[in-house]
């Protein structure tokens, strides 16, 4: 084949690749656009803070205050459980058992835990936290279930962040007589902290949007007040979208409402992602 023909072939291939790619990106972009356009019409201050007063039969007025509060509570409480354990587990994998057969098995289990379907986590939460531990259908049960989803994300980012810290630091701290844990927690961890932070934010974005794990561990479609204690059932943004779309009789009114909630949820998650990008650019500058 002549040089010209080969270059033409390359050009045609790359052009058709571009067309397909732009099509896919357009489809993805239109999801954001649809939610923005349909959601903005519903959004106002009252929608964000007031108590829900629709009954899923079409009377869609009132707001989503309790659902926002519920989502924040389960996500926050889930992180309280997952962050310390996840960080320590990541430290174990990078500082204590950083190679060998046991390490490979442990790491594969972390990857597997990340791959467990979220509805299976829901079953586990129901059997263990709600029934066995008698926490019932509650914020506490849901938060514990979500913390298991967050765990592998935090473990993996912690391990990678700790590994990226140069060995000189560890050796320097040992030469000054530091013990292993002192070196890990007081010398290496502070350097890795901002990268670990990105993992924590990523995990919260993930669990804030989950529906299946809270479906039968404590979320409810309707609550006449803000949640006040962790042994109560709660409303959550993602579950509310599902409920509005599948149990309502007045579909057009509840669809609008659902888009309003979707916009709030996506905004929350996008803000967390932007925070990740900022954190990441900071760590790049430092190192």
Partner 1 sequence: MKNIIDRIIFVSGWVSIAIIVAITFFLFYNWIPLFKTASPIEFFFGTLWYPTAIPPFYGILPLLDATVWISFLTILITFPSAFVLAIFITHVAPKRLRYFLKIFLEIFSSVPSVILGLIGLSIVAPYFQSVLNMDTGQNILNAALMLSLITIPMPTSMMEDFISAFSPEQKEGAQALGANEFETLTKVIIPGLKGPFASIAMLSLGRIFGETMIVLMVAGNAAIFPTNIFQPARVLSSTIAAEMGETPVDTPHFYALFGIGAVLFVMTFLINIIGEVIRIRYERQMMKG
Among 36, 43, 128, 275, binds partner 1 (CB under 8 A): 128
Q: Which of residues 231-260 bind partner 1 (CB under 8 A)?
A: 238-239, 241-242, 245-246, 255, 258-259
Nearer to partner 1, 49 or 85 (CB): 85
Nearer to partner 1, 180 or 225 (CB): 180
- Least distance CB 17 / partner 1 (angstroms): 5
- Least distance CB 227 / partner 1 (angstroms): 19
Selected range binding partner 1 among 43-51, 120-128, 138-146, 170-178, rule: CB under 8 A: 120-128
- 64 near 260, Cβ under 8 Å? yes
Residue 177-206 contact track with partner 1, rule CB under 8 A, x = bound: --xxx--xx----------------x--xx
The 3-state secondary structure of 26-74 reads HHHHHHHHHHHHHHHCCCCHHHHHCCECCCCCCCCCECCHHHHHHHHHH
Q: Rounded to whole angstroms, how far apart are CA atoms 220 and 246?
A: 14
By CB under 8 A, how many residues form the interface with partner 1? Answer: 88
Among 37, 40, 116, 249, binds partner 1 (CB under 8 A): 116
- Least distance CB 13 / partner 1 (angstroms): 5
Can residue 133 be called a binding residue for partner 1 (CB under 8 A)? Answer: no
Residue 17-36 contact track with partner 1, rule CB under 8 A, x = bound: xx-xx--xx-xxx-xx-xx-
Can residue 272 be called a binding residue for partner 1 (CB under 8 A)? Answer: yes
Among 52, 60, 157, 211, binds partner 1 (CB under 8 A): 211
Among 109, 193, 249, 278, binds partner 1 (CB under 8 A): 109
Residue 134-153 contact track with partner 1, rule CB under 8 A, x = bound: --------------x--xx-
Can residue 278 be called a binding residue for partner 1 (CB under 8 A)? Answer: no
């Amino acid at each position: 084949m002549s040089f010209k023909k080969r270059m033409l072939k390359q050009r045609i291939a790359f052009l058709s690749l571009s067309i397909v790619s732009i099509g896919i990106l357009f489809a993805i972009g239109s999801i954001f656009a649809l939610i923005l356009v349909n959601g903005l019409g519903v959004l106002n201050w009252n929608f964000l803070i007031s108590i829900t007063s629709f009954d899923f039969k079409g009377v869609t007025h009132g707001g989503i205050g309790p659902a926002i509060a519920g989502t924040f509570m389960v996500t926050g409480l889930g992180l309280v459980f997952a962050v310390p354990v996840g960080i320590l587990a990541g430290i174990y994998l990078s500082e204590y058992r950083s190679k060998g057969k046991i390490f490979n098995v442990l790491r594969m289990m972390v990857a597997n835990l990340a791959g467990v379907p979220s509805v299976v986590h829901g079953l586990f939460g129901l059997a263990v936290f709600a029934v066995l531990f008698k926490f019932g259908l509650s914020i506490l049960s849901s938060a514990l279930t979500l913390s298991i989803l967050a765990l592998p994300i935090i473990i993996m980012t912690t391990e990678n962040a700790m590994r990226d810290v140069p060995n000189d630091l560890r050796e320097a701290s040992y030469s000054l007589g530091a013990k292993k844990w002192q070196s890990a927690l007081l010398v290496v961890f502070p350097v890795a902290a901002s990268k670990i932070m990105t993992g924590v934010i990523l995990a919260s974005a993930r669990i804030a949007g989950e529906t299946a794990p809270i479906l039968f561990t404590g979320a409810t479609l309707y609550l006449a007040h803000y949640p006040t204690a962790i042994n109560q059932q709660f409303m959550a943004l993602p579950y509310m979208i599902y409920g509005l779309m599948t149990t309502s009789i007045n579909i057009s009114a509840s669809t609008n409402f659902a888009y309003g909630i979707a916009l709030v949820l996506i905004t929350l998650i996008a803000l967390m992602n932007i925070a990740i990008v900022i954190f990441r650019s900071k760590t790049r500058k430092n190192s």
